[in-house]
Structure 1
């Protein structure tokens, strides 16, 4: 792989994807300017529960590559990053970025949210490895929005202006879910019986599919068993339950409206990218749904959204790519600060 074009050798970047289940590490050893791709090597995955602290996990990884000198690192974590203090609630891990930097001798250390990493990764994704949900023409230097339904609902924006870029994280999962169609309104009314605030995350993340399933049954005057998303998906796939099929279809439809709102809010003329753990497993249903119709249907701004391409991201290593991009783009040489 050719280097970024600088005469200096590419300084390796330690990248990490830290979640509640696994702590994944890798080393970025080069960048190819022509293909806009990073070389990812020395990948190791450790069960997070094996370590008492994040520092112990880093020690375990570095012991695997002790012959390589590392001065740059970027860590993507599943949780909020506030200043120098990082808390991973699900693991009970807490660390200070300045202390971590000193302990391991990093000259450049960045810690970012996992959806911030997704946003940084967006310009480096390979079209052939992903799925076009909606055709459009992305403006080359315009903002890019990313979001994804999974355990939670995350979203972020790669803001690009006058040759500069930055990532803006947000709490889009907690905005109010807006009903658009009559069925939306009926479902929303049922959801409000149990929820004081019907947020996007209440329906499009975690137990949201099961919640929507129960609401759909009530709207149709039926009683259903209390089952989880995997069971609902199986029933829908085997066409064993009309309510399960309608739930997943409407999940995709309604998500189109949410995605369109996110695109408008971020001014995402550079494109919208969808990640998370749910939609890649139901991509055919998404592609045959009313997602695109509802993404575009924004009144006087319908033409604005009509031009925006939407991509379902299925390729691997997004946190690694985003963490590498965060450091690599920090300076014109790609060597970081």
Structure 2
């Protein structure tokens, strides 16, 4: 990418640390005209090849030894509490302050993956993503991000005249609401499986199996023991009508949840949906009643009708978000 930095730009080390892969890169410039970061030296390692974050970080820096970044931001798929990070699937634990000292960073931020998604939202490339619902975004208003994957994540980029910040939350554990009679019937069946019918227990990867079981019961069909991947495959090939109905309901109901979060966060700046599942269901999502359900908010329908919704399929979101975390806070 051809770019001229907006000013002197000290490289930012960014990372996307997940249970499977650890991806590192350097942000070497910011293109002010395009509002895009220049991402270079992007290298992905298998997380399991390293015993700790420090080992992985040391190995990456050895690959780019001609550059010594003093600023860093890491996006991690795990909780961050009082400066301590636990990546349960990897058995990695580290102290933010200790890593900062060990690698002589003047700045080090560690954020979760959906916070990174929220920070990245204003810097995404419209041509690489898909407009699900048209609208007119208020460039000074809040932006909501959300999406189902292994769990269900959501966050809000809060914007005001004084600057911006990301609000993280546990929206996946909100009680799932019924909008129509089918929703009500499904929730009655879901309650037989689940102690708490939350957004995550229905829309995450494992949750799709719960939804399929409930859909089969509502339709009076014997359910098979299917995984989310099997449900998706059978729906795509047209071999299973209940699987098709499950994924159609999934897309419709996610529309309602997205509209709820748009209202909750006051997201007149737009809603961006992603995660591990929706980008793989583009055609079904666009053919669903997602938009209708998103906007069906009673006396607030006019409010949400103006909000654009974008399906994010662009790569490198956590890396862009990690860079934007420092840039947004006026530290670039």
State the TM-score bracket (shorter-chain normalisation). over 0.9
Aligned counterpart, 1:53:
52
Return the offset for 1:241.
1.1
Take 2:167 and 2:30, find their aligned partners in 1: how far apart are those partners?
24
Return the offset for 1:249.
0.4
- The number of residues matched between the two structures is 331
Could you list the per-position Cα deviations for residues 124-177 of structure 1 after superposition, in whole angstroms to 9, with x for gaps in the alignment? 001111000001100010000000100110000000011410000000001100
Take 1:98 and 1:56, find their aligned partners in 2: how far apart are those partners?
16
Secondary structure of the 1:207 match is: helix
1:181-196 counterparts in 2 under 5 A? 181-196=180-195
Take 2:106 and 2:133, find their aligned partners in 1: how far apart are those partners?
42
Take 1:154 and 1:117, find their aligned partners in 2: how far apart are those partners?
11
Aligned counterpart, 1:231:
230
Aligned counterpart, 1:302:
301
Aligned counterpart, 1:278:
277
Contact 2:205 2:277 in 1 (8 A): no
1:68-87 counterparts in 2 under 5 A? 68-87=67-86
Aligned counterpart, 1:105:
104
Return the offset for 1:299.
0.8
Where in structure 1 are there 5+ consecutive unaligned residues?
none
Contact 2:271 2:309 in 1 (8 A): yes
Take 2:125 and 2:92, find their aligned partners in 1: how far apart are those partners?
34
Return the offset for 1:228.
1.0
Take 1:3 and 1:165, find their aligned partners in 2: how far apart are those partners?
24
- Aligned residues: CA RMSD: 1.0
Could you list the per-position Cα deviations for residues 77-113 of structure 1 after superposition, in whole angstroms to 9, with x for gaps in the alignment? 0012122111111111111111110100000110001
Take 1:224 and 1:189, find their aligned partners in 2: how far apart are those partners?
16
Secondary structure of the 2:307 match is: coil
Take 1:174 and 1:285, find their aligned partners in 2: how far apart are those partners?
25
- TM-score, structure 2 as length reference: 0.98
Take 2:142 and 2:188, find their aligned partners in 1: how far apart are those partners?
35
Contact 2:6 2:30 in 1 (8 A): no
Q: Mean alpha-carbon deviation: is it higher for 261-270 or for 231-240?
A: 231-240
1:1-337 counterparts in 2 under 5 A? 1-6=2-7, 8=8, 10-331=9-330, 334-335=331-332
**Deviation beyond 6 Å, 4+ runs, structure 1:** none
Take 2:79 and 2:163, find their aligned partners in 1: how far apart are those partners?
24
